[in-house]
Amino acid sequence: MTILATEGLTKRFPRVTALDRLTVSAEPGVTGLVGANGAGKSTLIKLLLGLTPPTEGRATVLGLDPAAQALDIRRAVGYMPEHECLPPDVSATEFVVHMARMSGLPRAAARERAADTLRHVGLYEERYRPIGGYSTGMRQRVKLAQALVHDPKLVFLDEPTNGLDPQGRDEMLALIRRVGTEFGISVIVTSHLLGELERVCDHVIVIDGGRLLRSSSIGEFTQRTQSVTVEVEEGQDALAGRLAELGQQVTAHGRLLTVAVSSPATYDAVRDAVCDLDLRLVRLEQGRHRIEDVFREEVSSV
């Protein structure tokens, strides 16, 4: 089942084209939507929720059309907006119960669901205090709770790690992973920090300037760029030459050599070259480029 699909989706503002003929789809699971600030991530989410109409093109969310079935979509989808949107003078409990009631839950069910959801996102006693006194991390959790309280099939999380310190970031990312795995809710999560998404996503969509740069599973993203780092005590130039003769693709970074792994034979070639030249091997380490590196390479080649 496809959770969302777009075809030639375009949004033009008077001065800027925020989305430019975007054709992409996502399957159930956790999908990262990656792009620099201004790439068009928030605009895409707003179009998919039916909050703003496209200039051209089409989209479906859970098989529904945002232009004609926006209310049905909102019933089945949760949305955590990027910007601050919480009332400071009510408690998290009051706010999340209110949001559950807005989604159509009866009073008792809304209270129960709100309590469960706030506990799931890690807010306990503090949920009775006014939101105005919360830390950024606590406020992000409240925003996440209101997106989950009506038990959606899919949630859009717009920059959920924004403003968090490294520990808060790790906790939020772990929570997002749990939403996708334990709760079984599909997640579309945006970030301009490319590296952090590889830890939680099954699939990544990269957009740049409103255009699709890449859409693939995390595995494909990193596999393609698998490499092995070789360090020898001395003789790295001779080793690089020998490996090149054996048909390997080698790059030198000071004392370290990075060899692209084209097949398992690459490891045999490294072993043979080190033995032939009688070198002392210090390190042989499997390396994977991070999404960040792949993205940088692709952007610079566009």
Ligand X SMILES: Nc1ncnc2c1ncn2[C@@H]1O[C@H](COP(=O)(O)OP(=O)(O)OP(=O)(O)O)[C@@H](O)[C@H]1O
84: its two tokens: 């601050």
132: its two tokens: 């105005």
CB of 13 to ligand X, least distance (A): 3
What is the three-class DSSP state of 78?
strand
Residue type, 226: Q
What is the three-class DSSP state of 213?
strand
CB of 34 to ligand X, least distance (A): 9
CB of 55 to ligand X, least distance (A): 12
CB of 47 to ligand X, least distance (A): 9
CB of 38 to ligand X, least distance (A): 4
Angle between helices 107-120 and 92-102 (to 10 degrees): 130
Q: Which residues bind ligand X (CB under 6 A)?
A: 13, 16, 18, 35, 37-43, 159, 192
Give the nearer residue to ligand X in terms of CB position, either 36 or 115: 36
CB of 65 to ligand X, least distance (A): 21
- Locate all alpha helices (DSSP H) within the chain, ordered by sequence: 41-48, 70-76, 92-102, 107-120, 136-148, 166-181, 194-197, 218-223, 236-245, 265-276, 291-301
CB of 254 to ligand X, least distance (A): 37
Give the nearer residue to ligand X in terms of CB position, either 31 or 43: 43
Phi, psi of 118 (to 5 degrees): -65, -35
Give the nearer residue to ligand X in terms of CB position, either 41 or 139: 41
**In Å, how far are 240, 260, 261 from 253, measured between CA atoms?**
11, 13, 17
DSSP state for residue 276 in the 8-state scheme: H
Give the nearer residue to ligand X in terms of CB position, either 19 or 138: 19
Give the nearer residue to ligand X in terms of CB position, either 26 or 123: 26
Start-to-end CA span in the chain (Å) = 32
Give the nearer residue to ligand X in terms of CB position, either 9 or 149: 9
Q: What is the 3-state secondary structure (H, E, C) of 178-199?
A: HHHHCCCCEEEEEECCHHHHCC
Give the nearer residue to ligand X in terms of CB position, either 14 or 264: 14
8 Å CB contact between 76 and 155: no
Give the nearer residue to ligand X in terms of CB position, either 126 or 208: 208
Q: Would the CA dihedral through 245, 248, 252, 257 be positive or negative?
A: negative
CB of 37 to ligand X, least distance (A): 3
Residue that the structure tokens 């080793």 belong to: 239
